[in-house]
Amino acid sequence: MIDKTIVTKIEEMFKTIQVLNEEGRIVNQKAMPALSDDQLKELMRRMVYTRVLDQRSISLNRQGRLGFYAPTAGQEASQLGSQFALEKEDWILPGYRDVPQLIWHGLPLHKAFLFSKGHYRGNQMPEGVNALPPQIIIAAQIIQTTGIALGLKKRGKKTVAITYTGDGGSSQGDFYEGLNFAGAYNAPAIFVVQNNQFAISTPVEKQTAAKTIAQKAIAVGIPGIRVDGMDILAVYGAVKGARTRAINGEGPTLIETITYRYGPHTMAGDDPTRYRTEELTNEWEKKDPIVRFRKFLEGKGLWSKAEEEKVIEQAKEDIKVAIKKTDETPKQKVTDLIDIMYENLPYNLKEQREEYARKESK
Mean pLDDT of 2-29: 84
> Which pLDDT score, from 0 to 100, does residue 362 have?
79
Please check the confidence at residue 185 and state whether its pLDDT lies above 90: yes
Q: Which residue has the higher pLDDT, 321 or 341?
A: 321
Please check the confidence at residue 9 and state whether its pLDDT lies above 60: yes
Minimal CA–CA distance to 192: which of 282, 97, 106? Answer: 97
**Structure confidence by residue, pLDDT tens digits, 204-250:** 999 999 999 999 999 999 999 999 999 999 999 999 999 999 999 99
> Which pLDDT score, from 0 to 100, does residue 269 have?
87
- pTM for the full predicted model: 0.95
Lowest mean pLDDT among 2-6, 86-90, 184-188, 271-275: 2-6
> Which pLDDT score, from 0 to 100, does residue 6 have?
63
Domains assigned to the chain: 4-330 (3.40.50.970), 332-362 (no CATH)
> Which pLDDT score, from 0 to 100, does residue 46 have?
98
Q: Give catalytic residues, as residue numbers.
A: 261, 265, 275
**How far apart (Å, rounded) are the C-alpha atoms in residues 169 and 143?**
12
**How far apart (Å, rounded) are the C-alpha atoms in residues 165 and 179?**
13
Minimal CA–CA distance to 96: which of 52, 152, 150, 140? Answer: 140
Mean pLDDT of 143-156: 98
Q: What is the mean pLDDT of the chain?
A: 95
Contact of 146 with 108, CB cutoff 8 Å: no
> Which pLDDT score, from 0 to 100, does residue 361 have?
87
> Which pLDDT score, from 0 to 100, does residue 343 have?
85
**How far apart (Å, rounded) are the C-alpha atoms in residues 108 and 74?**
23
Q: Strands 253-258 and 224-228, how do they pair?
A: parallel
**Structure confidence by residue, pLDDT tens digits, 21-71:** 999 999 999 999 999 999 999 999 999 999 999 999 999 999 999 999 999
> Which pLDDT score, from 0 to 100, does residue 3 have?
66
Lowest mean pLDDT among 95-99, 216-220, 341-345: 341-345
**How far apart (Å, rounded) are the C-alpha atoms in residues 67 and 95?**
16
- DSSP, collapsed to helix, strand or coil, labels residue 30 as helix
DSSP per-residue codes, 107-173: --HHHHHHHHTT-GGGG-PPTT--BPPPB-STTHHHHHHHHHHHHHHHTT-S--EEEEEETGGGGSH
Please check the confidence at residue 8 and state whether its pLDDT lies above 80: no
